[in-house]
Amino acid sequence: MTAHERWGYPARHRFAGFFRLVKEAVFVVLAIAARSQTAVYWNFSGGSGAPLSLSANVTVPVDLFGNNEQPGNNPLFNSVSSSFGYSGINGPSSGVHNASIGVVTGPLDPVTSTYFEFTIAPASGYSLTATDLQVGTWSNLKGPQTLTLLASIDSFTTFTTLGSVTALPTTSTWTLVTLSSFSYLAATDVPITFRLYGSDGIGGVTTSNWRIDDLTFGITAAVPEPSTSAMLLVGGLLLGARVLRRRRLKVA
| Inside any domain, residue 230 | no
Q: Classify residue 121: in a domain, yes or no.
A: yes
Average pLDDT of the segment spanning 40-67:
87
The per-residue pLDDT for 202 is: 92
Q: Determine the Cα–Cα distance for residues 22 and 28; give it in Å rounded to an integer.
A: 10
What CATH number is attached to the domain comprising 113?
A: 2.60.120
Identify the band that residue 227 occupies on the pLDDT scale cut at 50, 70 and 90: very low
User: Three-class SS of residue 132?
Assistant: strand
How many domains are contained in the chain? 1
pTM for the structure as a whole: 0.75
pLDDT in tens, 117-174: 999 999 999 999 999 999 999 999 999 999 999 999 999 999 999 999 999 999 999 9
pLDDT, tens digit, 9 for 90 and up, residues 196-210: 999 999 998 888 999
Q: Tell me, yes or no, whether 72 lies in a domain.
A: yes
Over residues 187-193, mean pLDDT: 96
Q: Three-state DSSP class for 231?
A: helix
Asked if residue 233 belongs to a domain, the reply is no
Q: How far is CA 202 from CA 106, 199, 208, 209, in A?
A: 7, 9, 12, 10
State the pLDDT at residue 75: 78
Rounded to whole angstroms, the Cα distance separating 182 from 164 reads: 11
Asked whether the predicted pLDDT for residue 189 surpasses 50, the reply is yes
Residue 21, pLDDT > 60, answer: no
Residue 249 belongs to some domain of the structure: no
Q: Could you tell me if residue 206 is inside a domain?
A: yes
Residue 221 is assigned to a structural domain of this protein: yes
The better pLDDT of the pair 242, 159 is held by 159
Phi, psi at residue 167, to the nearest 5°? Answer: 55, 40
Q: Highest mean pLDDT: which of 44-48, 84-88, 167-171?
A: 167-171
Is 212 contained in some domain?
Answer: yes
Domain of residue 214: give its range: 33-225
